[in-house]
Structure 1
Amino acid sequence: MSGTTELFALGNDAWQVRVAPALGGAIIDARWHGRDVLRPTPAAELQARNVRKTACYPLVPFSNRIAFGAFAFADSQYTLAKNLADMAHAIHGVGFQQAWRVIAQDGRSIAMQIEHAPNERWPFAFVAQQTLAIEGDTLTLGMRITNTDNIAAPCGAGWHPFFPLDSAAGETRVHTEWKSMLVNDGDSLPCARIDPPGFGALDSTVVDNCFTGWSGAAHIETPHHRIAIDANDALPCVVFFRPAGQPFFAFEPVSHANNALNGNDPPMHVLAPNEALEARVSFTVQALTKELERTSK
């Protein structure tokens, strides 16, 4: 499916952000003083409506993989439809493949919503509201998911932001604290838990793992700027993804472990009818000294 996608612009003296509610509630690009903080969506991918090539998209009501789309919950067995053609598992929830309805907007914020009825991709009803807001040097993403079913239901939340790597300009590094790394098997599913390794420059790093016991804070040091990431307690995990040979990486704050519905900890939240889960993450950017000198000339 391809065609024109309506974009909504947010801006202040620091940020210029474009959002595509109809394309999975995704961020198309996010620039701070003209620099790409998130990987910008190529024009051809936007034309093709390829949400997986956008700068950031929401993960709701679950993150990452559910093994082969099957799980047990509350004495019932469920099998989900596979939602990506090249994937043996159900992945990334349902929100990134739906159009979000704008419910409020101004020049510095936007709120959008989806209402999900039980179907083959997720058997529980919910309403999700996503907000994006800029204030000063900070971009904040918020999510409120309410169980609108008449039974308790599992629920998760998160985001899949991509960050560019500018290897020609210098190294990029991530500084954070977490307690364990989930090792993947040949099906890209967690099979063991180990102490997390250290990481050097991301330009020479290859990783695609879930990290648990995350502190909720991280710093990304790029050749151009520093990004401080701050998340609330609803997001105790990170999926850290840096594929070989690619000029980007993903640092995904999420609420639960990969394949949590099949026994990996931390588990998904379980919401009673009308109960809500609220998640939040912010990105605050600061210039490097050399960048301040360059832009002041």
Structure 2
Amino acid sequence: MTATEHQISFGPYTAIATARGGALRELRHEGRDLVISFGADGGIPDYRGVICAPWPNRLADGRYSFDGGDFQAVVNEEERGTALHGLVFGAVWELRERTASSVRLGARVEPGDGYPGRLDVSVEYELRTDGLHCTVRAENIGSEVAPYGVCPHPYLVAGPAPLDEWTVQIPASEFMEVSADRLLPQGMAGVEGHAFDFRAEKVLGTVEIDHAFTGLMPGADGLAAVRAYDPSGSGVELEWDSSWPWLQIHTADKPVGPSRLGLAVEPMTCPPDAFNSGTGVIRLAPGESHKASWTIRALSR
């Protein structure tokens, strides 16, 4: 284990967080993978497990305006001409705190051509009896109001069978329609009668999803959850609180190379291209902070 890798454990759960992107590199329950992992060195494929801040998903052309200023973020998704997943996924996050069952990592966002604010962002991963509890927090440590949005980016693994054979439940009544070429917002639609209606658990099949959902339906405890089960009976759940009114689902379809290896489940504070639409953007005044939490756990039946 290198100095930038942090292994934690509790009961039947083990996890590895990495300084690269503040990412969850590995999560296992009794030796079974609950997320798609990646190597200890090199790049992170497909943004697996990273923290996406200070915006989730895409910004069209990397351009936006905020409080009278114009900003140009680096276009890192060149084939679609967008700025994807914020500014800290490529950073080396510092170790802030560590115990046998938890680790907290942090990174800074500095003002520049692509962003007006100065943020301190931290993520804590803590294993408990009922799974991996995660919290991301951002504090405005600068002198200007800063726009903010965030999401985690894990790819869940229900079991050994192909993704098409998993059954999935997604508690969302609406989804965002997107352009075929750039995956940018084009409007909202209801899931009723659509292939994306997974309000009741059903087999995923060959449906391809890379869309944001909303109209989320929490349980009596105020928490919403996506659940996926393998035909063998093993499963995985990602549960989140009301801090995340949006949810990105991606079936990990790849035109080249291994495809549909897992199911990306990404609670989001705001939808794609939010810095242009203004939808759900959090305004962090100097000294203000925002935090949001989610949990990943093993299921079986």
Scaled to the shorter chain, the TM-score interval is 0.7 to 0.9
Partner Cα distance (1:79, 1:177) in 2? 35
1:262 is the counterpart of 2:262: no
Shift of 1:87: 4.8
Tell me, yes or no, if the aligned pair for 1:137 and 1:284 is still in contact at 8 Å. Answer: yes
Match status 1:59 vs 2:45: no
Is the 8 Å Cα contact of residues 71 and 113 (structure 2) preserved in structure 1?
no
Q: Which residue in 1 is equivalent to 2:186?
A: 191
Q: Among residues 14, 17, 23, which one is paired with 1:19 in the alignment?
A: 17
Indicate which of 263, 270, 293 corresponds to 1:249.
263
State the alpha-carbon separation in 1 of the partners of residues 147 and 269 from structure 2. Answer: 11
Write out aligned runs for 1:255-294 (5 A): 255-263=269-277, 265=279, 267-288=280-301
TM-score under structure 2 normalisation?
0.86
Superposed displacement of residue 170, structure 1: 8.2
Aligned to 1:221: 229
TM-score when normalising by structure 1:
0.87
User: Could you list the per-position Cα deviations for residues 259-279 of structure 1 after superposition, in whole angstroms to 9, with x for gaps in the alignment?
Assistant: 1111163x2111111111111
2:247 alignment counterpart: 238
**Structure of greater relative contact order (alpha carbons < 8 Å, 6+ residues apart):** 2
Q: CA RMSD in A?
A: 2.1
Q: Contact 1:208–1:239 (CA<8 Å) still a contact in 2?
A: yes
Distance 1:264 1:119 in 2: 20
Q: Over residues 48-83 of structure 1, what are the superposed CA-to-partner deviations in whole Å (9 max), with x where a residue is unaligned?
A: x21234641111111000110011111222111223
Structure 1 residues 128-159: Cα deviation after superposition (integer angstroms, max 9, x where no partner)? 11100000131011011011221211111110
Q: Which whole-Å CA distance do the structure 2 matches of 1:93 and 1:102 have between them?
A: 21
> In 2, are the aligned partners of 1:190 and 1:264 still within 8 Å (CA)?
no
| C-alpha distance in structure 2 between counterparts of 1:240 and 1:117, whole Å | 29
Q: After alignment, is 167-176 or 248-257 more displaced?
A: 167-176
Q: Which residue of 1 aligns with 2:173?
A: 179
Question: Which whole-Å CA distance do the structure 2 matches of 1:163 and 1:241 have between them?
Answer: 10
- Asked if 1:105 is matched to 2:98, the reply is yes
**What SS class does the counterpart of residue 153 from structure 2 fall into?**
strand
Instruction: Name the CA shift for 1:193/1:147 in 2 (closer, same or farther; >3 Å).
Output: same
Structure 2 residue runs of 5 or longer lacking an equivalent are 218-223, 254-258
Superposition pairs of residues 98-137 of structure 1, within 5 angstroms:
98-137=91-130
Following TM superposition, the consecutive aligned residue runs of length 4 or more in structure 1 with deviations greater than 4 angstroms are 84-87
If each structure's helix is expressed as a fraction of its own residues, which one has the higher value? 1
